[in-house]
Chains A and B, each alone.
Chain A
Amino acid sequence: MSPAYLLRRLLAVVLVLWIVTIAVFAITMILPGNAAVMILGEYATPDQVAAMEERLGLNRPAAVQYLEWLFNLLQGDLGMSLRLSLPVSEVVGSAFANSALLAVTALLSVTVVAVPLGMIAALKRGTKADLGISLMAYVGTAMPEFVTATLLLVIFAAPGNPLLPAGGFIPPGESVAGFFNHVILPAGALGLILTAHIARQVRSEMSDVLASDYIRAARLKGLRERRVLRGHALPNSLAPAVAVISLDIGYLLGGIIVVEEIFAWPGLGRLLILALENRDLPVIQAITLLLAMVYALSNLLSDLVIAAIDPRVRYE
């Protein structure tokens, strides 16, 4: 991979994020009830609103407001949260860290479970193991995380005899065991549908690989089955698996908002819902931008990983 390629891809990320800033800003402009009304409350007089708009600069042309916002953004100044009266970067920063903990835990466990499951299903094609895994994958893909979350709560956190806490968060720095205790249910709710999806995709990729001419050629060279699978099939099915996982990151970012709310996980999702309820525009803008950035960068990362795995993929 050439440095020129990396530069081009980073440029593309910047371009995407710039388009997102316009979209985010436009949407917050269109939303009914501006920040002045939100701060003053519904009983404010028109004079008070006008004065507040003057003070916040909301009466200036949209383009000027956008440029000012963008300029501040580039300097790392995301503004003040209207609701919490704290700098947005502070509010969003800690929530982002908490969300990242949940997302990474979910994604890692999904990968560790789903990829081998898909491979086993492909290897044992047509057997009971394949049938079981495929059936589970079908059911799993049909269950959105709010259903899974409710089910998990009923089963593992029933009020009488809770095996696991129904919600909340303990930072791993405070207690690792406590963190894992609290992360299992939300990560499970997030991960089940992804596990199902990734397992299905990996199964079909692996099936294609196993049916390929080069696997037949490897067998006809007299190689033992273990060597055929490890040396020939596995390296070919890794890159597609990475591609599927990276596509699912987009889904994960959406799912996390629902799951955090259900399990009272103090992350970005929960903060976003709070901000939406309170029309906390600077926070909404910051979170939306952050999610877009995570998605764009994770896509870039997965392309780089694929290039490292598959010699045919050479980015120039």
Chain B
Amino acid sequence: MMAAQDNNASEGPVLDIRNYTLDYGTPHGPPVQVLRNVSLSIRPGRTMGLVGESGSGKTSLAWAIMRYLPGNAIERSGEIALLGEDLRTKSLEEVQDLRGRRISMVFQDPGTSLNPVLRLGDQVAEVLARHRGLTPKEAREESEAWLARTGISRPADMMHRYPHEASGGEKQRVVIATAFACNPEIIVFDEPTTALDIITARQILDLFDDLHDETGVTALYISHDLGLVSRVAQDVAMIDSGEIVEWGTCEEVFVRPRHDYTRQLLSAVPHPDRRIVASAPEAESDLLSLSGINVRYGDKKSILGFLEPKREVVQGARDVSFGVRPGEILGIVGESGSGKSTIAKALAGLQDFKGTVEFDSRTFSSRRQIDRDYRRSVQIVFQHPDASLNPRQTIGKILSRPLKLYDQVPRSELSQRVRKLLRSVLLPEEYAVRYPHELSGGEKQRVAIARAFAAEPQVVICDEITSSLDVSVQAAVARLLVELQQQTGTACLFITHDLNLVRQLAHRIAVMLDGDLVDLFETPQASASGRHPYTKQLLDAVPVPVKAEEPARTA
């Protein structure tokens, strides 16, 4: 492999993009510029990370390379060359012949990029049959061999399965096997681990490393995650509003960033060492405490139950007990299905539970006992502001709802208080008359936070509130939350799967696994010995981003 790489090294770049400019036509009005004068080249055997936020044009660049542009795309200028051949001059037939053979792609979500009604084996084999002219039998044998190379434990069995019968990680391995099957010269990876769980994502990254070493393939790795790119790529290009603002080796770009945008992104990336909270106030007792909380899903039976299949009972939470101290931020981490949102819903009074919740010297032993007073004191912010803000109400109306419901202020002072709330989350007062769709994702989430704080609660539950946001927006929202929390002295339950972020802002961290609370520790003790093995596994799975030498802003 090294020999092949050395041979290629003298030959010049595998992929060479020069002065490429792309517009999307719009039905009314002028075309929108998506990519501006993009130049980028990837040398043989290297992995280049392409990093940008949503809307930066990184995915459009991938489509341009794959020659899979939408009908309204207008290519203004430039060339995209694969080993010196300009792909832009190729006919559709030539492009079809290239795709999957010389240039292939691994997609973001293996759950949607595999055909649900075809067997996994056939989906790998068809590439081999198409491009290498193998007979069906040979193609199947070769596919099975590739599945084995991607670390699938029982490849023969996997060949016969349908996508819904495989796990997310297995499916992504199948997609990767398909991409590597014809030994392409370059593979485009479009956020291949974003849709996966933490530990699975780590395994896929390891697989990428192994296959990259084995095959010496050249790769373009698109991601929004700087930490991840610094782990997989040797070179990195930063893209912002359709322009490559900076590119070079990872060390150059990450350690000595030259461009403001790079510095800004680097400082926004959550880093465990960069704490953004003051220490928690000393507390003599817990503000809110849970003991023996159990939640089961799928238990209910209707009268016509005999007509329904037996549902699998899922234990959402199993004997979970912990306390929340006044004024602290308690992080809850875990993979999807670990029960972290179940706990949030049970505490917010949205989910039936068994066990007891103690709050404000009162005891609640079922959802029905949770009353208005409790609901006022324990507020929740949801993951998707688009789903949690009523699209038909103005921001002012949305924020005045809790104020009216809990009689926070006299009617005459409502609008004044709404403006104050908007200011508190750093939004202009004029936003009161706007509707949610007129706001950006980060702004909407600020409104949702303001709504939760409107009731002057003692506990705010934040359920993955930054997960759907871009890195820089996420950093701003996290900082805002911490500020609000400190000003008001509200305790906060911060649920997330982002370990770097939680280590940045939580005072204590609780770890959940399959409905069990497996670990609970002070944040500085995260890497201490004696942590639960699962905690260690989670922490090891997450690449900690490289720290720039001189971050433009300090937290």
Decide if A311 touches B164 in the complex (CB within 8 Å): yes
Decide if A223 touches B107 in the complex (CB within 8 Å): no
User: What are 8 A-B residue pairs whose CB atoms fall within 8 Å in the complex?
Assistant: A8-B309, A12-B307, A216-B113, A222-B96, A222-B98, A232-B118, A310-B116, A311-B117
Choose among B104, B126, B164 the residue that contacts A223 (Cβ–Cβ < 8 A): B126
B525 touches A (CB below 8 Å): no
Decide if A221 touches B100 in the complex (CB within 8 Å): yes
Q: Which residues of B contact A27 (CB under 8 A)?
A: none
Q: In chain A, residues 237-264, which have Cβ atoms closer than 8 Å to a Cβ of chain B?
A: none
Q: In chain B, residues 87-107, which have Cβ atoms closer than 8 Å to a Cβ of chain A?
A: 96-101, 104-105, 107
Choose among A5, A223, A312, A315 the residue that contacts B96 (Cβ–Cβ < 8 A): A223
Q: Which residues of B contact A217 (CB under 8 A)?
A: 105, 107, 113-115, 175
Decide if A219 touches B116 in the complex (CB within 8 Å): no
Docked pose: A227 CA to B125 CA in angstroms: 14
Docked pose: A212 CA to B109 CA in angstroms: 12
Choose among B116, B126, B306 the residue that contacts A221 (Cβ–Cβ < 8 A): B126
- Given known pairs A212-B112, A218-B115, A311-B164, the reply for A224 and B126 (CB within 8 Å) is no
- Given known pairs A221-B127, A222-B96, A316-B309, the reply for A232 and B115 (CB within 8 Å) is yes
Q: Which residues of B contact A222 (CB under 8 A)?
A: 96-101, 127, 130-131
Decide if A311 touches B162 in the complex (CB within 8 Å): yes
Decide if B115 touches A221 in the complex (CB within 8 Å): no
B68 touches A (CB below 8 Å): yes
Give A225's nearest chain B residue, CB to CB: B96
B66 touches A (CB below 8 Å): yes
Q: Which residues of A contact B127 (CB under 8 A)?
A: 221-223
Decide if B96 touches A224 in the complex (CB within 8 Å): yes
B178 touches A (CB below 8 Å): yes
A172 touches B (CB below 8 Å): no
Decide if A312 touches B164 in the complex (CB within 8 Å): yes
Size bracket, chain B contacts:
20 to 34
Give B127's nearest chain A residue, CB to CB: A221
Decide if A219 touches B309 in the complex (CB within 8 Å): no
> Sorted from nearest, which 8 A-B pairs have the closest CB atoms?
A222-B100, A222-B99, A213-B112, A221-B100, A217-B113, A214-B115, A311-B162, A213-B113
Decide if A220 touches B68 in the complex (CB within 8 Å): yes
Q: How far is the CB of A129 from the nearest CB of chain B, in Å?
A: 17
Docked pose: A5 CA to B306 CA in angstroms: 11
B282-318 vs A, CB cutoff 8 Å, 1 = contact: the mask equals: 0000000000000000000000001111100000000
* Besides A213-B109, A231-B118, A315-B309, 19 other A-B contacts (C-beta < 8 A): A11-B306, A11-B307, A12-B307, A213-B107, A213-B112, A217-B114, A220-B100, A221-B99, A221-B100, A221-B104, A222-B97, A223-B96, A223-B127, A223-B130, A232-B115, A235-B118, A236-B115, A311-B116, A312-B162
Give A218's nearest chain B residue, CB to CB: B115
Decide if A221 touches B109 in the complex (CB within 8 Å): no
Q: Which residues of B contact A232 (CB under 8 A)?
A: 115, 118
Q: Which residues of A contact B101 (CB under 8 A)?
A: 222
Docked pose: A316 CA to B307 CA in angstroms: 11
Give A238's nearest chain B residue, CB to CB: B117
Q: How far is the CB of A11 from the nearest CB of chain B, in Å?
A: 7
Docked pose: A315 CA to B127 CA in angstroms: 32
Docked pose: A161 CA to B318 CA in angstroms: 81
B162-189 vs A, CB cutoff 8 Å, 1 = contact: the mask equals: 1010000000000100100000000000
Q: Which residues of B contact A (CB under 8 A)?
A: 66, 68, 96-101, 104-105, 107, 109, 112-118, 126-127, 130-131, 162, 164, 175, 178, 306-310
Q: Among the interface residues A218, A231, A316, which one has the most CB atoms of the partner chain B within 10 A?
A: A218
Docked pose: A218 CA to B117 CA in angstroms: 13
Docked pose: A217 CA to B104 CA in angstroms: 10
Docked pose: A30 CA to B100 CA in angstroms: 70
Q: Which residues of B contact A231 (CB under 8 A)?
A: 118, 126
Chain A interface, >50% SS class: helix
Decide if A8 touches B306 in the complex (CB within 8 Å): yes
Docked pose: A219 CA to B178 CA in angstroms: 13
Q: Among the interface residues B114, B117, B164, which one has the most CB atoms of the partner chain A within 10 A?
A: B117
Decide if B68 touches A312 in the complex (CB within 8 Å): no
Q: How far is the CB of A144 from the nearest CB of chain B, in Å?
A: 35
Decide if A214 touches B306 in the complex (CB within 8 Å): no
Decide if A236 touches B116 in the complex (CB within 8 Å): yes
Q: How far is the CB of B145 from the nearest CB of chain A, in Å?
A: 18
Docked pose: A276 CA to B23 CA in angstroms: 68
A181-211 vs B, CB cutoff 8 Å, 1 = contact: the mask equals: 0000000000000000000000000000000
Q: Which residues of A contact B97 (CB under 8 A)?
A: 222
Q: How far is the CB of A12 from the nearest CB of chain B, in Å?
A: 5
Docked pose: A310 CA to B310 CA in angstroms: 21
Q: Which residues of B contact A236 (CB under 8 A)?
A: 115-117
Q: How far is the CB of A113 from the nearest CB of chain B, in Å?
A: 24
Q: How far is the CB of B192 from the nearest CB of chain A, in Å?
A: 13
Q: How far is the CB of A279 from the nearest CB of chain B, in Å?
A: 35
Q: Among the interface residues A5, A212, A223, A315, which one has the most CB atoms of the partner chain B within 10 A?
A: A223
Choose among B96, B99, B113, B307 the residue that contacts A214 (Cβ–Cβ < 8 A): B113
Docked pose: A223 CA to B101 CA in angstroms: 10
Q: Which residues of B contact A227 (CB under 8 A)?
A: 126, 130
Q: How far is the CB of B143 from the nearest CB of chain A, in Å?
A: 13
Q: How far is the CB of A3 from the nearest CB of chain B, in Å?
A: 13
Give A212's nearest chain B residue, CB to CB: B112
Q: Which residues of A contact B109 (CB under 8 A)?
A: 213
Decide if A220 touches B66 in the complex (CB within 8 Å): yes
Give B119's nearest chain A residue, CB to CB: A311
Q: How far is the CB of B213 from the nearest CB of chain A, in Å?
A: 24
Q: Which residues of A contact B118 (CB under 8 A)?
A: 231-232, 235
Docked pose: A232 CA to B126 CA in angstroms: 11
Give B122's nearest chain A residue, CB to CB: A231
Docked pose: A163 CA to B99 CA in angstroms: 56
Decide if A214 touches B126 in the complex (CB within 8 Å): no
Q: Among the interface residues B96, B105, B109, B164, which one has the most CB atoms of the partner chain A within 10 A?
A: B96
Q: How far is the CB of B151 from the nearest CB of chain A, in Å?
A: 21
Q: How far is the CB of A15 from the nearest CB of chain B, in Å?
A: 8
Decide if B112 touches A219 in the complex (CB within 8 Å): no
Q: In chain A, residues 297-316, which have Cβ atoms closer than 8 Å to a Cβ of chain B?
A: 309-312, 315-316
Q: In chain A, residues 1-33, which have Cβ atoms closer than 8 Å to a Cβ of chain B?
A: 5, 8, 11-12, 15
Q: Which residues of A contact B66 (CB under 8 A)?
A: 220
Q: Which residues of B contact A310 (CB under 8 A)?
A: 116-117
Q: Which residues of A contact B126 (CB under 8 A)?
A: 221, 223, 227, 231
Q: Which residues of B contact A218 (CB under 8 A)?
A: 115
Q: Which residues of B contact A12 (CB under 8 A)?
A: 307
Q: Which residues of B contact A216 (CB under 8 A)?
A: 68, 113
Q: How far is the CB of A307 from the nearest CB of chain B, in Å?
A: 12
- Given known pairs A8-B306, A213-B107, A221-B178, the reply for A312 and B100 (CB within 8 Å) is no
A162-190 vs B, CB cutoff 8 Å, 1 = contact: the mask equals: 00000000000000000000000000000
Choose among A221, A235, A316 the residue that contacts B130 (Cβ–Cβ < 8 A): A221
Docked pose: A19 CA to B308 CA in angstroms: 19
Docked pose: A223 CA to B131 CA in angstroms: 9
Q: Which residues of A contact B104 (CB under 8 A)?
A: 220-221
Docked pose: A311 CA to B161 CA in angstroms: 10
Q: Which residues of B contact A224 (CB under 8 A)?
A: 96, 130
Docked pose: A312 CA to B439 CA in angstroms: 39
Q: Which residues of B contact A311 (CB under 8 A)?
A: 116-117, 162, 164
Decide if A214 touches B116 in the complex (CB within 8 Å): yes
Decide if B112 touches A312 in the complex (CB within 8 Å): no
Q: Which residues of A contact B68 (CB under 8 A)?
A: 216, 219-220
Give B181's nearest chain A residue, CB to CB: A221
Docked pose: A222 CA to B97 CA in angstroms: 6
- Given known pairs A217-B113, A223-B130, the reply for A5 and B309 (CB within 8 Å) is yes
Q: Which residues of B contact A5 (CB under 8 A)?
A: 309
